[in-house]
Structure 1
Amino acid sequence: MTYLLLTVTVMAFVAIYAFLMRHWMVAKPLVGTAAVMLMLTAIFDNVIIATGIVAYDQEKISGIMVGVAPIEDFAYTVLAIVLVPSLFNFFRTKL
């Protein structure tokens, strides 16, 4: 299984969840959060990959890179940006 296939599978479930929970999410704060989180992901992923702390099997990544970081790494940041606030708001009203 490639990282891209795994990422697309997880993103499909999160997209369905986000669609169902869209009334719990406020878009405006997510834009600023996304900008900061994606910038931090770009910086720190490149550092940990360039220093050899993390390595990827080149045959399992898509080949699309941001510096030395595969684009698949950024998908998990986007997923966190969508999931964390909506889950927080959902459970805040339930607890």
Structure 2
Amino acid sequence: MTYWFINVWFLLAAVLIAVVALLLTRQSQAAGTRTRPDIRAALGALAVVLVLTAIFDNAIIGFGIVDYDPSKISGVRLGFAPLEDFAYTVAAALIVPSVWAFLAKRPNRSESS
């Protein structure tokens, strides 16, 4: 089993959660109960955490703290870090704003009347 095989499941789950969040917030936004996740903010956050992932993953792999089985990675690396290592960052950047949208404060019925 390769890391990409594992990552596919995480990425599919993250995409599914993001799609559900967008659909639910679109429906409830018309009723004024939820705000939709800001795609630009999510992309900005993704850019920042990808850079941080690249820096810190290269450090921990370069110093020998963590290593990957060469037979389980694609071989494509950004510095020392295998490309597969960035999938978790992408999944988190999809899931966090989606969960935030799910948990957005809804006005009480008494407040909206």
Count of residue correspondences? 94
1:2 matched to 2:7: no
Q: Distance in 2 between matches of 1:82 and 1:12?
A: 10
Describe the superposition over 1:37-63 as per-residue Cα deviations: whole angstroms up to 9, x where unpaired.
100000000000000110100000111
Q: Percent identity?
A: 45
Deviating beyond 6 angstroms after TM superposition, the runs of 4 or more aligned structure 1 residues are none
* CA RMSD in angstroms, aligned pairs only: 1.4
Counterpart mapping for 1:1-80 below 5 A: 1-22=1-22, 23=25, 24-80=36-92
User: Normalising to structure 1: TM-score of the pair?
Assistant: 0.89
Q: CA deviation at 1:13?
A: 1.7
SS where residue 65 of structure 2 aligns?
A: coil
Q: Distance in 1 between matches of 2:51 and 2:101?
A: 25
Q: Distance in 2 between matches of 1:52 and 1:73?
A: 15
Q: Which has the larger radius of gyration?
A: 2
Q: Which amino acid letter does the alignment assign opposite residue 83 of structure 2?
A: I
Q: Distance in 2 between matches of 1:45 and 1:35?
A: 15
Q: CA deviation at 1:92?
A: 3.5
SS where residue 15 of structure 1 aligns?
A: helix
Which ranges in structure 1 are unaligned for 5 or more consecutive residues?
none
Correspondence for 1:93: 105
User: Normalising to structure 2: TM-score of the pair?
Assistant: 0.76
Which ranges in structure 2 are unaligned for 5 or more consecutive residues?
26-35, 107-113
